[in-house]
Structure 1
């Protein structure tokens, strides 16, 4: 019964959140001084007349009240019918289907780099905790948290593609196609979680189970990497899942910088062309990604209620 009520509450939260986000998307689009019908006619017709604009407004359903437009969009969206792109004339589902795999590849690769990088840098920082190099790592972490991903992306292009010229960042294939964008997205995460891991290791190595392990003759390295490190990582998993959801939103400008045809590139291109059907769906997907990551984070939190300090040392 408890699980059933939990999932009912979560489903209700998801529905309400998506309704609010998409409604705000509609409102913001209508508050803009740019008329979608005028933008649509201007792109498709060399000579723009008032009659053509009015015909386009009726064709696009923009002559109806906003709530009626929104209600019709929600009804069709529930049937996975998101309309036609005003810029390309193709189905919005087709446009999203091309862009979504690119964004997912960037986010997943970014999560992998972030995870491995955080563990390595965090472990190094633990060993250098009382050394002056530990202070240097802390300062570098603060710097990494302070620099936006899109600035890092621009700097990456300037240094490696323009000044050095030894790295191709635009014509790659396979995993290297997504690596530069994923690396820039992961820097702030590595800076944050490496510090958290170092602090968790410091705490875990002072727990009772670590003391008993030393009494049993286990070496410090074994206690650190086989017991303290897994415990320290597990405590950060809920927050890490939420960060992955934020990475999808954060990839918006980074994808544009590296000319990756993902959701971010599609969103910015649609905003410039005032392609409202595509904008609404991209906003919906980004909101859904954040919600799903939060749900996974909550599930992990529920599974981590057990006190790690009571786990038997193997």
Structure 2
């Protein structure tokens, strides 16, 4: 630039071009370093490390760690301890959550109109007279104050005793454990449909952005957002069970009886996953390293799946954890529509008969499952993205 002359547009463009060239060379050097390190044999890595070359260069390229100005040895030593501390704090934080959930459920059930003692006394041989109702209330422990009832329940729950069902007279924990495999089977099948369908629609919509494929995929996902589970379940029953007679409607043993409720439940979650995948991938595909990968001549599938999809995976992992907990709640509706056995059907019957202890046991189990899944998702972050460190 000539002295005394103000910088013009051409000078500014040349400066930007030189800066882009330097950044591109830096990224290419790092990429080559990782490729050489990945293809080297363990004997070659050990020889380089013992000769001292690894401290400054690795296979002829400067290590990214040294250019940043730090060493990973100390960080890798602190990582397990930090992770253990983080998991411990999160596990302890689950305790007040469970206490709050138990209190809210306990109070809500006692605010529902009706008296379970009157209902059970009317069903018994003693009849529904005042004396029979008072006796039944005493037997059920409902003749004391509400806070005393809760403290009794909480004390037994800490010992693993959630009481016995008012109607079946069976332990609550036994009833939940018996129905749990059916609900887990349904939730896993629905989660598979949610992941495959949602991610597939989202990727197609992002790759073919602003085309008819994009619009069709978003229209399909809009249906999942708009149609409630019970209505989509009824439509599936009408089409595949009544009209075409391809699949059975009710039951929970054979895999054929799992298809319709899993599709109804999974379609609802796939809509959220598809839209989040689309927005995440559109943001990732605009990044500079994607342009560099394409300029190197990599195949489109490698660019999208290997370089793009993994970097857009974190939001999907978060949503996947939330969706699995949501599927456990949605299983209540699906099991009711398709008359399937499971925890959802169990809690509906318990609510209808005002079986307090059974409802509390089911809700606490679902809340605990939800909290554990969220903790597992947070821990999974560090495995997907090594840059994430917990303190």
Q: Same fold (TM over 0.5)?
A: yes
- Name the larger-Rg structure: 2
What do the CA deviations read for 1:162-206 (whole angstroms, capped 9, x no partner)?
233332222564333322212111112211212222233333233
For residue 245 of structure 2, the aligned residue among 161, 165, 169 is 165
Aligned equivalent of 2:299, options 219, 236, 254:
219
Name the residue aligned to 2:211: 131
Residue from 287, 297, 300 that aligns with 2:367: 287
Q: What value does the CA root-mean-square deviation take over the aligned residues?
A: 2.2
Return 5+ residue gaps in structure 1 as ranges. 309-314
Asked if structure 2 preserves the Cα contact closer than 8 Å seen for 1:153 and 1:257, the reply is yes
Which position in structure 2 is the counterpart of 1:268? 348
Select which of 92, 95, 110 maps to 2:175: 95
User: Cα distance, 1:98 vs. partner?
Assistant: 1.4
Aligned-residue offset at 1:157: 1.7
Where has structure 1 moved over 6 Å in runs of 4 or more?
none
> Which among 187, 201, 211 is matched to residue 281 of structure 2?
201
5+ residue gaps, structure 2 = 1-80
- After superposition, the Cα gap between the structure-2 partners of 1:231 and 1:2, relative to the gap in structure 1 and judged at 3 Å, is closer
1:183-198 aligned at under 5 Å gives the runs 183-198=263-278
Partner of 1:144: 224
Q: Which stretch of structure 1 is more off in the superposition, 160-169 or 273-282?
A: 160-169
Counterpart in the other structure of 2:329 = 249
Verify: 1:67 aligned to 2:147, yes or no: yes
Note the C-alpha offset of 1:213. 1.9
Q: How many residues align?
A: 308
SS at match of 1:174: coil
In 2, the alpha carbon distance for the partners of 1:82 and 1:172 equals: 26
> Is residue 238–residue 300 contact of structure 1 (8 Å, CA) maintained in 2?
no
Asked whether the 8 Å contact 2:343–2:362 carries over to 1, the reply is yes
Aligned partners of 1:248 and 1:289 also within 8 Å: no
Structure 1 equivalent of residue 17 of structure 2: none
Cα offsets for 1:245-275 (capped at 9, x unmatched): 1110111111111111111100111111121
Residue-by-residue CA offset, 1:128-172 (whole Å, 9 max, x unaligned): 312133223222222211111122112222222223333222256
2:325·2:373 contact (CA, 8 Å) conserved in 1?
Answer: yes
Contact 2:142 2:149 in 1 (8 A): yes
Match of 2:187 in 1: 107
Return the match for 1:54 from 129, 134, 139.
Answer: 134
Whole-angstrom CA distance in 2 between matches of 1:197 and 1:121: 8
Q: Whole-Å Cα distance in 1 between the matches of residues 374 and 86 of structure 2?
A: 14
Determine which of 118, 132, 138 is the counterpart of 2:198. 118
Greater RCO (Cα-Cα under 8 Å, separation 6 or more): 1
